[in-house]
């Protein structure tokens, strides 16, 4: 594990791809042999916050999430993430899927999750399914500064950071390689309070039984 520090505002957690084969499962859903070579069948305009969940790839992911991918995701939560947290928690029932195409972005604007009414106590985990670096990865604010750093990570790693309070987002992807990832949020039950706030993407309330699930 790589720990966060004063100039690297994230932690990297390693996991076994043989046990949790997320890239292979998502590649099968998207009907591709190579996620990093993923390209749309038609031009995709520069994505905005309102449109960054609207591609055909997003529809395929969410429509096919139930089944083997959900089973592996929930096993990962129950084993890897539970071991990291070490206390009872709830988690995002369906992770948020991202596709960072060359020349485009995966998230429509730099933001803090608190800007979108996510509740206090939430912890964020970002899981790349392809190599992520430089302009195709997530850029995360260094606390106490106005600058962001690119969080380089590989399949088999999870980037844990304070998305609730640190500004983060994407720059236009100039690597020529598509980055595919998903991210999810957890809250320790000792910090959980049912909220009337709703996800800007799904419209679900930030509550167990809607946005969150408790194993």
What the chain holds in terms of domains, given with CATH numbers, is 10-33+53-214 (2.60.120.620)
**Which residue in the block uniquely carries the two structure tokens 């106005």?**
146
Complete DSSP assignment for 168-208: EE-----SSS-EEEEEEEEEETTT----S-B-TTT--BSSB
User: Across the chain, how many H-helices and E-strands are there?
Assistant: 4, 10
Overall residue count recorded for the chain in this entry: 215
User: How many whole angstroms separate alpha carbon 20 and alpha carbon 42?
Assistant: 32
SS (H, E, C) 141-177: ECCCCCCEEECCECCCEEEEECCCCCCEECCCCCCCC
Q: For position 100, what pLDDT does the model report? A: 98
pLDDT reported for residue 69? 98
Q: What is the pLDDT along the chain (215 residues), one digit of tens a residue?
A: 555 555 789 999 999 999 999 999 999 999 999 999 999 988 899 999 889 999 999 999 999 999 999 999 999 999 999 999 999 999 999 999 999 999 999 999 999 999 999 999 999 999 999 999 999 999 999 998 989 999 999 999 999 999 999 999 999 999 999 999 999 999 999 999 988 889 988 999 999 999 999 98
pLDDT at 1: 58
Render pLDDT for 162-187 as a digit per residue (tens, 0 to 9).
Answer: 999 999 999 999 999 999 999 999 99
pTM for the full predicted model: 0.94
End-to-end CA distance of the chain: 25
């Amino acid at each position: 594990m790589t720990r966060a520090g004063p100039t690297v505002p994230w932690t990297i957690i390693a996991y076994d791809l043989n046990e949790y084969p997320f890239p292979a499962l998502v590649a099968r859903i998207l009907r591709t042999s190579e996620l990093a070579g993923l390209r749309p069948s038609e031009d995709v305009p520069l994505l905005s916050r309102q449109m960054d969940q609207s591609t055909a790839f997003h529809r395929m992911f969410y429509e096919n999430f139930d089944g083997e991918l959900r089973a592996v995701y929930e096993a990962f939560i129950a084993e890897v993430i539970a071991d990291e947290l070490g206390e009872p928690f709830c988690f995002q029932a369906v992770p948020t899927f991202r596709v960072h195409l060359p020349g485009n972005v995966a998230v429509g604007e730099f933001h803090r999750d608190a800007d979108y009414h996510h509740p206090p106590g939430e912890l964020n985990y970002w899981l790349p399914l392809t190599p992520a670096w430089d302009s195709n990865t997530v850029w995360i604010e260094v606390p106490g500064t106005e600058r962001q750093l690119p969080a380089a990570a590989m399949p088999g790693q999870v980037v844990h950071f304070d998305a609730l309070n640190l500004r983060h987002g994407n720059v236009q992807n100039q690597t020529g390689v598509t980055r595919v990832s998903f991210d999810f949020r957890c809250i320790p039950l000792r910090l959980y309070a049912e909220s009337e706030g709703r996800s800007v993407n799904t419209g679900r309330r930030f509550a167990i039984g809607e946005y969150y699930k408790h194993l």
